[in-house]
Amino acid sequence: MKDIRRFLLGPPLRSVEARHQRLTKAKALAVFSSDALSSVAYATEEILLVLVAAGAGALWLSVPITLSIIALLGIVAVSYRQTIHAYPSGGGSYIVAKHNLGVLPGLVAGSALLVDYVLTVAVSVAAGVAAITSAFPALAHHRVGIALIFIALITLANLRGVRESANIFAAPTYFFIGSIALVLLAGLGRWLLGGNPAEAAVAASAAAGPVEGGGAIVPLSLFVVLRAFASGCAAMTGVEAISNGVPAFKEPESHNAATTLTWMAIILATMFIGISLLAVAFGIRPSGEETVISQIARVAFGRGVLYYAVQFSTALILVLAANTSYADFPRLASLMAKDGFLPRQFANRGDRLVFSNGIIILGVLSGLLVAIFGGRTHAMIPLYAVGVFLSFTLSQSGMVRHWLKTDEPGRLLHAVVNGLGATATGLVLLVIAGSKFIYGAWAVVILIPLLVWMLTRVRVHYDEVAAELAITPEELGGSLPVIEHDAVVPVASINRALIDALQYAKSLSSRVYAIHVTIDPKEGERMKREWEKWGFGVPLTVLYSPYRSLIRPLIEFIDRIDRRHPKALVTVVLPEFVPSRWWHVLLHNQAALSIKTALLFRRGTIVTSVPYHLHGATPPEPPPA
């Protein structure tokens, strides 16, 4: 097992190597921006899916809607640049909101991000699988299985460490940027320089299949436009990722993170508006059989090598976009665990200096989400973006409070910038929550408060445990009191493991009780005779169990000892042999484990094991002289 683990994850890293795991700007762009950049593969499509219900004449509105989202992106990017410089330790919305607005707003921001990171993995992978099935329709029925395989592979890659995952994901990110650039250039050239892209687009849409959500035409209204805008805001997810992961950058961390954020915003805006323009220019309509990106690529390149290269790069970046969540979810969970709002295990780094528990939990939750929604992107999109814009709003509001409390030069200008960001994202949050509520956003609106309540209960538990475990010098009286013991040794058979257990029990107490539980009186009498023959100097009590239970007679015996010596602790000493091969454990009953489980919550009772290690068929070699 250890060899398999090392093969999959690599050798463990020393703590001092953490600094060498940091990322350059180029690699950080791949790790932290893949989610935001990949969203252009479905953001335009989500806008068109809403507008097409109002008829083909409404599709041109996708361009002004895209421009309004890009303007919002610019405001948020500038705001988060200020956050990066003000909070170089990372943590993003959770840290900013908690420090400046209070614990409850911080938990709301943290919960919103945790939910969104899980959704990001599920949506990104599902969209990547959709790109594959667009090129190879025969695989459509296996979308869930393919998605789960991709999630497992990304989880494994991240368990290997930050730098290795960056090496894996850097090339696909830049391959996608390059392929989209080629699509935009080729499409723009076809549109401006000749040919008849409209006819090609009609053919592409016809080949793509029926229009998604086709049916009765609904009137074009402000509500429809707002719904389209809300759906297109999926392009904004992942923008906060860089501010959450500032410590992962090479020095100077803040400068490198801010520069990376700027480049990410510029690349995202360029690709987003380019795709929306070509979709309108070519008359592309969303289809349940083929993605908008696929249709645009077919108009631009035909069904040639470049088309399949675009589809491959799109599928790859969409699947690997989940890596942004794998970079931030475990880091955020570790911060919340250190504050006592999540189980402590989330704060622990694994062998490869990553927060392994957070990575595994993220993989499991996102896999469940994909399975529940059948791997369909459109089914999960209504749940998307609510958490993102809630965290945006709380973070920027917290930054306004931060600037007002400091005396740094230019603080008022900084406060205005973050205030503008908070106002814009707050209004968008209302639009998204309102327009998507009946389409599934209600689930997130309910889930976030529920998660906040769970986080507070975790903290209450830790506070109660700390209060109960706290001691004062007065309680001890200057010295540790001596503990009086009664030792109980369960006996299954007479063997070497039992001898070791009896010796250990006698070292604890002069009152040692050996007990043997049996369902057969004759077998009990035989055990008594054999026990007397060996003469261990410890009395044996045989307990008869008419209902074939090992645990109940043992507990009843311990209860009698408690009544006899109420001030003493009862230590149950379990003789256990340890097989030489891990799979040998499956060949033996687990009576010791059953006893430990039954007595774990019994006050005044201690359970300890005395292991006897078996050597297997080959006896151990004598130690060197």
Mean pLDDT of 499-507: 91
Whether residues 349 and 451 fall in one domain: yes
Res 488: pLDDT: 93
Residue range of the domain that includes 535: 485-613
Q: Are the CB atoms for 433 and 390 separated by under 8 Å?
A: no
Q: Are the C-beta atoms of 488 and 557 separated by less than 8 Å?
A: yes
pLDDT for 190 beyond 90: no
Q: What is the pLDDT of residues 345-365, one digit of tens each?
A: 888 876 666 778 888 999 999
Q: Are residues 447 and 527 in the same domain?
A: no
| Beta carbons within 10 angstroms of residue 11's beta carbon | 7
The arithmetic mean of pLDDT across residues 590-599, rounded, is 84
If asked whether residues 444 and 498 sit together in one domain, one would say no
What's the confidence (pLDDT) of residue 20?
46
DSSP for 427-479 reads: HHHHHHHHHHGGGTHHHHHHHHHHHHHHHHHHHHHHHHHHHHH---HHHHTTS
Q: Are residues 369 and 494 in the same domain?
A: no
**Same domain, yes or no: 454 and 503:** no
Segment 71-95 mean pLDDT: 83
For the segment 88-98, the average pLDDT, to the nearest whole number, is 79
* Start-to-end CA span in the chain (Å): 32
Q: What pLDDT, on the 0 to 100 scale, is given for residue 461?
A: 92
Burial of 234 (0-12, 13-18, 19+ CB in 10 A): buried
Please count the structural domains in the chain.
2
Position 332, amino acid? L
pLDDT tens readout for residues 278-306? 988 888 888 767 788 888 888 888 888 88
Quick one: 76 and 221 in the same domain?
Answer: yes
124: CATH: 1.20.1740.10
- Choose the final residue of a domain: 399, 428, 461: 461
Q: Which CATH number goes with the domain that contains 596? A: 3.40.50.620
Cβ proximity of 260 and 26 under 8 Å: no
Same domain, 255 and 199: yes
Q: What share of the chain is helix, strand, coil (3-state, %, to 5)?
A: 70, 5, 20
Summarised one tens digit per residue, pLDDT across range 109-132 is 999 889 888 888 888 788 778 778
Which of these ranges, 55-64, 172-181, 187-196, 470-479, has the smallest mean pLDDT? 470-479
- Residues 522, 390 share a domain: no
Q: Model confidence at 18, in pLDDT bands (50, 70, 90)?
A: very low
Q: For residue 182, what pLDDT band results from cuts at 50, 70 and 90?
A: very high
Position 268 scores a pLDDT of: 92
Q: In whole angstroms, how large is the CA radius of gyration of the chain? A: 32
Contact 101, 398 (CB under 8 A): yes
pLDDT at res. 574: 92
Q: What is the tens place of the pLDDT at every residue in 538-558?
A: 889 999 887 778 888 899 999
What region does 446 belong to: left with phi over 0, alpha with psi -120 to 50, or beta? alpha
Assess whether 496 and 561 both reside in one domain.
Answer: yes
Rounded-to-integer distance, Cα 320 and Cα 306, Å = 21
267: pLDDT confidence band, cut at 50, 70 and 90? Answer: very high
Burial per residue of 81-113, b for 16 or more beta-carbon CB atoms within 10 angstroms, e otherwise = bbbbebbbebbbbbbbbbbbbeeebbbbbbbbb
Q: Who wins on pLDDT, 478 or 582?
A: 582
**Whether residue 213 sits in one domain with residue 177:** yes
Distance from C-alpha of 2 to C-alpha of 425, rounded to nearest angstrom: 48
Output 141 or 183, whichever has higher pLDDT.
183
Nearest of 510, 508, 529, 535 to residue 608 by alpha carbon? 508
